[in-house]
A and B are shown apart, each in its own frame.
Chain A
Amino acid sequence: MPLDPAVLENEFTEFEFAVERGKIREFAIALGLKDPVHFDIGAARAAGYADLLAPPTFTRQFWHENDENDPMPHLGYDPKRRLHGEQEFEYHKPLVAGTLLRGNNVIISTREKEGRRGGKMTFVIIETRFLDESGELVQVARRTLIETAATPKEAE
């Protein structure tokens, strides 16, 4: 389905994302991280962090996303043809447990391309800026969401 241009006019509400120790540990365990700065408060402090450090891909979380703040459900994408094509992070400041991030999502680009087997592929880039309580930029994340031309079965 071609992207509805109206979605580009939407403004998405700001959201809060509390960075918790338990969630950092759980995330680090799920990825097999061994660096104690993600698990051990003593080790994190010895390395110069105020608290447990979040792993590099930690901000790609889904807990805080909903219809008001996330563009994804408004793109009109068929869930069966939706792919996460790319994910990018820019790091401006270490992210540690106890931080209350504020984030907001903006659609920064869209384009359509002819699929290899015909039909249109739609690319949308969503940028999320994460600020801490003092208003300083902590990270910028960008995800590219693709609607493919055909579902996997149709493509066979």
Chain B
Amino acid sequence: MAEKFDAIVVGAGPSGNAAAYTLAKAGRKVLQIERGEYPGSKNVQGAILYSDALERIIPDFREDAPLERHIIEQRVWVLDDESFIGSHYRSDSFNKPPYNRYTIIRAQFDKWFSQKVQEAGALLICETTVSDLIMDGSRVIGVQTDRQGGAVYADVVILADGVNSILARKAGFRPELSPGDVALAVKEIHFLPQEVLESRFNIAGDAGVVIEMIGKITKGMMGTGFLYTNKESLTIGVGCILSDFKKQKCSPSQLLEEMKAHPSIQPLLEGGEMKEYAAHLIPEGGYNAIPRIYGDGWLMVGDAGMFVNAVHREGSNLAMTSGRIAAETVLELDAQKKPFTQKNLAAYREKLDASFLMKDLKKYRNLPQILHRNPQFYTTYPELLNRAAHTMLSVDGIDKKSKEKQIRDSFRQKRSLFGLVGDAYKMWRAFE
């Protein structure tokens, strides 16, 4: 006798957990199916937790969620081969609770989040893959799993099965993932004694630092690097658009090795013991890559919906927000005794559009393409900027005016006036 639930959530990552929690808390009969051995086993992230998104789901999460450090300083570095030019923002107001962002370790965080979901009343089944959606015409009425007797039914199915959602592709909701729309990122966790870490990064207590990097470290490929401080470890990683990796025939782990050897980065890792390595795909296509995210009897949340703001490296908060909003849409329709038809579920999209989620994605919708077509932003500009800084900061008897001219000339030489103007325009377009 196949079981029936109010809702089935496919996936126990941040978006799936957000959806399942919200529904279960409201008393719905929820089944969550995760293909990994345990929630989080298939998930990889930097990782940064955005309080705002989680607060709206679990307001008192700070009480028992495993949090590493709250971020008080953000550094943005533009790297050349042996140097970087960057900007730091450090604020003491970030050091006053309630804290806005934290670094987390996903394995522990996902375990905690899943516990909350189960405490709220959802039923969780792991090590089970949903192989197909069960359809009645065009309506989704359940899921088929890879286990014997594995058909389960529900009034609504929420697809939270990640960037490479096979389910969405099989059902025709999403096309095959294009290598130009995803990045492949790799990361390592290096353990350092707490005192060393704190003195090296000038932090104390539970305060933390985040470094985002761009430049020659990605060898002309479109991508970014990052370094985060956890309680007693550092997370370092890099990711580039998959199509660039393929074209360049470069391996991500090799790229990471070289990045770690950069003279500005290597000292930060000194004495650390590498204990963890992971890789994952990240949606990068942005607004233009968002597929159909709702239909008769189904909704799509999280990475499956390609909700990642690449510019600001925001993914998990968009995932949680979309999961929450999807659940709220379901609850609303339920309260109004309306069926989960495509027409009615359009409210999900409307809510997303009204939220920061779609607004931000829409704002940066042209960025992926513009950046991808203009590798000078990853190579030439970092070079020029670094050399400019070097020129200005070297005291060598040359007068400042000449130095300025030298810098201007170098820019024009590399990019030409036409190119410079064009680049400025592209940047403006990308960010507008």
Does B associate with A?
A: no
B residues touching A (Cβ–Cβ < 8 Å)?
A: none
